[in-house]
Structure 1
Amino acid sequence: MSHRKPSASLAAAIAVIGLLGACSKGPSHAVDTEGVEKVNAYIACFNAVEQPIHEGFQQYTGWMQDPKAGPTGKEAHVRGPGMVLSHRVALCNEPMVAALAMTPADAALDPPARTYQQRFVDLYALIEQTDRYYTREDYLRDDHAGMRTQHGPLMQAYMAFFEASDALDAALETREDERRRAQLKEIEAAEGRSASYYQLRIVGDAKQLVALLTAETPDLAVARTQLAAFQALLKQAQDDKIGKGDAMWGHLERAADGLARDAGRRVDRLQENKPLTRSEQILMQGGGRIGNPQGSAEAVTDSYNDLVDASNQLSR
């Protein structure tokens, strides 16, 4: 039993923060200021806890022969789900409650954000309880009874959280796409296809490309078309001499080129139907960027995150 979200999901949410400020060097846009504080609070909570919750889930269920049935008490090695750093947890408490109370209400984002926050609070209470149980090795003194009784409620809470996570992620994606289209239209009308325009286009189009290439069943024909369009966009920016002589723009340009390269490798690997080797899987489990093989969804996501980082640096 596993719960695999698209690899680009977390990065896409990170990109929202960068895109909200991407046009700060250009004219003032009303669309940028409406509800930004509220939306950023939702994004901050999402980004803070998504990855550690998913990693903890994999850590907790990874040693079980059948996670759906739960632990038997006969396993050689057991692990709790692990705690999330307190400063990450804090971002989903008071700041989220305050954001949810902000007016005007947001009919599209408030309901999934409220559900997400509540389900995280409920889940994390069980995670803390379960992790302390395993850390103290209480199962050695209760004939493993606690392992069995805690498993069902914890797994139900995980599934409820993942459902809320998918809903909030989709709502944030929709909002980002709407905001991006409006920003691009206003920037182009005010200043033409400037550096701000290309910055927003590059990061936004990259997000769409990565989403295609990290889906569970990628559509190769669509991905090839999207990759060709992304490469054409980068060439057009270069031909227009955007950011010429600007070192920070150079960082973004190199990151975008790196993504185009890794996206191409991903397309090739998918076309060849080449699964990860056992050695590649072991390297990836070891963590670190060196562990992500060429053509993997993780390598594409890493390159996208580099692009987002470069964009955020350029916007400061």
Structure 2
Amino acid sequence: MTSFACATRALLAAPLLLALLACNSKSEDTAKAPAAPSIAVNEAPASGKPAAATPPAKAPVEEPSAAAKLQDYIGCYNKLDGRAHKSIERYATWVKNMKTGPTGRESVVYGLYETDPESTAKCKTSFATSAAQKPAMPALDAAGAAYIQALDAMDTQVTEANNYYSRDNYKDDKFAKGKAMHAPLVASFEAFQKASSAFSDQLDVENDKVLADKLADVEKTEGKQYTYYRMALMARAKGLINLLGEEKFDVAMAETRLSAYEALADESLAYSKAHKDNRDIHWSFFESSTEQFRQTAKERFRRVRDKVPYTEMDRMTFQADSGWMVEGSPHKLLKAYNDLVGKSNQF
């Protein structure tokens, strides 16, 4: 059965787009161990480029681009996905058996969090528009359509369940409706999680193409300066989060990626120190986050390399949805990465 514990979410850094959220289907139950992220998460900060100035009336119409198309998809995904997953997780914290549902004897009934049907409806319209835009991205467009349809169906189930639990109606019917709605509610969860994973994978593929092209162009036209270092650091950080976020990973490969990130971070620090006059006001905050991510990534690497087990206190912390406080956990690494993406998106 699908794992419903994916409280910690990872972000894909997109320096010129938005942060991309995803939830790995390989996540462990946080009641047992920390969730393992996938790609490039908690609901992500969603901030894009500053709005462009209004063009002159006779200016030529700009050709559609892959970046522009992805901008809408990623913006909606960030806005909707984390909230939907949090609702699922909330329900799973008190319903101990997701196969059979609530028993009516639970000592604590949390219900579940509201989703955002209004925003889903808006994104459903914008997704249809994006799918019709060039360049054609058949796999992404199909995944987007399936995603928004699954989320729309889940919204309906969640709204009904939220009304029932938030109004304490289960106290009046001895959980009769709660038990009856459990199966269709969980079915909507599973369909959404499957669609979410597929959509995030496709977004990741297309987004990586755009970013790789842009990074190469920046290096060619501007050289290695602030924009280059920001984009390159985010690309390497993503490679680390993809690997170190797994429950188990290739230690040798992780060491190589970590060394590459550190080398680039050191190079960036040296450049920044030598070019203080040209720094953006946001750079110091970004730089601080790159260092925090470096430290947290090394903590995660050491825990797995040295096979350091989680203590009972660590496991209790995971259960309290505070895994980000545990040294060497994927949760803490993802929190540092989320902050890094947020700082990158401020430029």
TM-score by length of 1: 0.85
Q: 1:238: Cα distance to partner?
A: 3.2
Structure 2: state its 5+ residue gaps.
21-47, 53-62
Structure 1 residue identity aligned to 2:328: G
Distance 1:305 1:56 in 2: 20
Question: Residue 295 of structure 1 aligns with which residue?
Answer: 328
Offset at 1:87? 6.5
Which amino acid in structure 2 is aligned with residue 144 of structure 1? F
Pairs within 5 Å for 1:58-207: 58-85=89-116, 88-89=119-120, 92-103=123-134, 105-207=136-238
- How far off its partner does 1:283 sit? 4.3
Kept in 2, the 8 Å contact 1:213–1:263? The answer is yes
TM-aligned CA distance change 1:159 to 1:84, over 3 Å: same
Structure 1 residue 292: Cα displacement: 1.9
Instruction: State how far apart, in whole Å, the 2-side matches of 1:36 and 1:144 are.
Output: 48
- Secondary structure of 1:302's counterpart equals helix
TM-score by length of 2: 0.78
Deviations 1:58-98 (A, max 9, x none): 22122223211212222222232221256654553443344
- Write the distance in 1 (CA, Å) between the matches of 2:19 and 2:164: 40
| Structure 2 residue 289 is the aligned partner of structure 1 residue 255 | yes
Alignment RMSD: 3.0
Assess, with a 3 A threshold, how the Cα gap between structure 1 residues 115 and 279 changes in structure 2: closer, same or farther.
Answer: same
Return the alpha-carbon distance in structure 1 between the equivalents of residues 150 and 291 of structure 2: 39
For 2:273 and 2:234, the matched residues in 1 are separated by 15
Matched pairs, number: 305
Partner of 2:26: none
Confirm or deny: 8 A CA contact 2:80 2:119 kept in the other structure. Answer: yes
Q: Which moved more, 1:93-102 or 1:169-178?
A: 93-102
Equivalent of 1:280 in 303, 314, 317: 314
Q: 1:229 aligns with which of 260, 263, 266?
A: 260
Distance in 2, matches of 1:295 and 1:282, equals: 15
- Please give the secondary structure, in 2, of the residue aligned with 1:108: helix
CA distance in 2, matches of 1:193, 1:33: 28
Change (3 A) 1:241 1:53: closer
Counterpart in the other structure of 1:50: 81
- CA distance in 1 between partners of 2:19 and 2:172 (Å): 50
Q: Structure 1: any 5+ residue segments left out of the alignment?
A: 25-31
**Change in 2 beyond 3 A, CA 1:57/1:179:** same
- 2 CA distance for matches of 1:164 and 1:155? 14
2:217 counterpart SS class: helix
- Cα distance, 1:91–1:203 mapped onto 2, change above 3 Å: farther
> In the alignment, which of 329, 335, 341 is matched to residue 308 of structure 1?
341
The 4+ residue runs of structure 1 with deviation greater than 6 A are none
Cα gap change, 1:14 to 1:8, in 2 (>3 Å): farther
Q: Separation in 2 of the partners of 1:45 and 1:281?
A: 33
What is the 5 A alignment of 1:3-22?
Answer: 3-4=4-5, 7=8, 9=10, 11-12=11-12, 16-17=17-18
Structure 2 CA distance, aligned partners of 1:5 and 1:243? 42
Tell me the distance in 2 between the aligned counterparts of 1:4 and 1:97. 31
Contact kept, 8 Å, 1:184 with 1:200, in 2: the verdict is: yes
Deviations 1:131-165 (A, max 9, x none): 11122232233332212211111111111100000
SS of match in other structure, 2:185 = helix
Q: Please give the per-residue CA displacement for 1:110-145, whole angstroms capped at 9, x wherever unaligned.
A: 110110000000011000011111222322333322
Distance 1:108 1:138, change over 3 A: same
Aligned residue type for 2:240: L
Q: Output one character per residue of 1:246-275: Cα deviation in whole Å (capped at 9) or x when no partner.
A: 253232222111111110011111223334
User: Aligned partners of 2:13, 2:184: CA distance in 1, in Å?
Assistant: 29
The match for 2:251 among 220, 227, 234 is: 220
8 Å contact 1:280–1:293 — kept in the other structure?
yes
Partners of 2:332 and 2:228 lie apart in 1 by 27
Identity in percent: 28
Counterpart of 2:69, as a letter, is: K
Structure 1 CA distance for aligned equivalents of residues 64 and 135 of structure 2: 13
1:28 corresponding residue in structure 2:
none
Contact 1:13 1:43 in 2 (8 A): no
